[in-house]
Amino acid sequence: MDDFRGKWLDLVAAADSEAALEEVRLQALGKKGEIALRMRELGQMSPEERMTVAPALNALRDEVAAAIIAKKQAFQDAALDERLRAEWLDVTLPVRPRRQGSIHPITQVTEEVTQIFAAMGYAVAEGPQVEDDWHNFDALNIAPEHPARQEHDTFYMARAQGDNRAPHVLRTHTSPVQIRAMQGQGAPLRVICPGRVFRADYDQTHSPMFHQVEGLAIDRDITMANLKWTLEEFLKAFFEVPSVDLRFRASHFPFTEPSAEVDVRCSWENGTLKLGEGDSWLEILGSGMVHPKVLQAGGIDPNEWQGFAFGMGIDRIAMLKYGIPDLRAFFESDLRWLRHYGFGALEVPTLAGGL
Per-residue pLDDT, averaged over 207-217, amounts to 92
Q: Phi/psi at 96 (nearest 5 deg)?
A: -100, 110
Say what the pLDDT of residue 224 is.
Answer: 95
Measured CA to CA in angstroms, residue 48 lies from 38, 53, 58, 229 at distances of 16, 9, 16, 97
Whether 174 contacts 214, CB under 8 Å: yes
pLDDT digits (tens, 9 = 90+) for 237-277: 999 999 999 999 999 999 999 999 999 999 987 777 888 88
Per-residue pLDDT, averaged over 93-98, amounts to 69
Whether 200 contacts 153, CB under 8 Å: yes
Please list the helix, strand and coil fractions of the chain in percent, rounded to the nearest 5, in that order.
45, 25, 35
* Interatomic CA distance for residues 55 and 47, integer angstroms: 13
Kindly indicate the confidence band of residue 196, based on its pLDDT and cuts at 50, 70 and 90.
very high
Say what the pLDDT of residue 268 is.
Answer: 82
331-337: long-range contacts at Cβ-Cβ below 8 A with a sequence spacing of 24 or more? 331/207, 331/209
* Single-letter code of the amino acid located at 214: E
Tell me which of 26 and 305 has the higher pLDDT.
305
Per-residue pLDDT, averaged over 150-158, amounts to 81
pLDDT digits (tens, 9 = 90+) for 1-16: 567 677 778 888 888 8
Kindly indicate the confidence band of residue 166, based on its pLDDT and cuts at 50, 70 and 90.
confident
* Interatomic CA distance for residues 305 and 289, integer angstroms: 11
The CA angle 137-140-144, to the nearest 5 degrees, is 40
* Interatomic CA distance for residues 189 and 125, integer angstroms: 11
pLDDT digits (tens, 9 = 90+) for 46-87: 877 777 777 877 887 888 888 888 888 988 888 888 888 888
Percent of the chain with pLDDT over 70: 94
The CA angle 185-189-190, to the nearest 5 degrees, is 125
Kindly indicate the confidence band of residue 214, based on its pLDDT and cuts at 50, 70 and 90.
very high
Per-residue pLDDT, averaged over 157-175, amounts to 84
* Single-letter code of the amino acid located at 343: F
* Interatomic CA distance for residues 245 and 123, integer angstroms: 26
Instruction: Burial-class residue 22 by CB neighbours within 10 Å (0-12, 13-18, 19+).
Output: middle
* Interatomic CA distance for residues 38 and 174, integer angstroms: 75
* Interatomic CA distance for residues 288 and 157, integer angstroms: 30
